[in-house]
Structure formats: structure tokens, C-alpha cells
Amino acid sequence: MKMKIWWIVNILWIILFAAMGIFVIVRKYDAAGILQTNQLKFATLAMLAVLLLFVGLCQALVLYFIKRSNQAKSKK
């Protein structure tokens, strides 16, 4: 059951990051009204990639603990 929830959460994260990436690429002006050049878009995508890396590492840690708890249950 935990693995199913883990997969669902990962799919939601992928959809969220894909939507944010498309939004960054498509938008012409940011919230402050500044014209988004390619350099600013790439910088924003780089920050998004760092956040994605952090989320990925957290998900890998959660997967490790899920598998560890499943192994402990199977040994009992």
C-alpha cells in the first residue's frame, strides 16, 4: 500500500514540475512585469532543477525507509 501511495505522489510531482517548467518557458513577463529573456528563463529553470533534485532526494529517502520497513515485516 505504501508503494502505491509513493508512486502516486511521484507522478503528481512530475506533473507539477512539468507544468511549472512549461509555465516558465511560455510566459513573457513575470509577476513584477519584467520581460523574461532567455537568460532569466534558464536561471529560473536552473532553480527549478535544484528544487527537483531536492524533492528527488527526499523521495529516494522515503523509498529507502518504505523498503526497509517492508523487509522488517517480511522477516517477522
Cell of 17: 514540475
> Bigger pLDDT: 53 or 33?
53
The domain spans of the chain are 2-71
Average pLDDT on 26-36 reads 89
Q: Residues for the chain: how many in total?
A: 76
**What beta strand segments (E) does 1-76 contain?**
none
The answer on pLDDT for 75 being more than 80 is no
- Flag whether pLDDT at 18 surpasses 80: yes
Q: How confident is the model at residue 37 (pLDDT cuts 50, 70, 90)?
A: very high
Structure confidence by residue, pLDDT tens digits, 48-64 = 999 999 999 999 999 99
Q: Model's pTM, two decimal places?
A: 0.80
C-alpha span between 66 and 19 (Å, rounded): 28
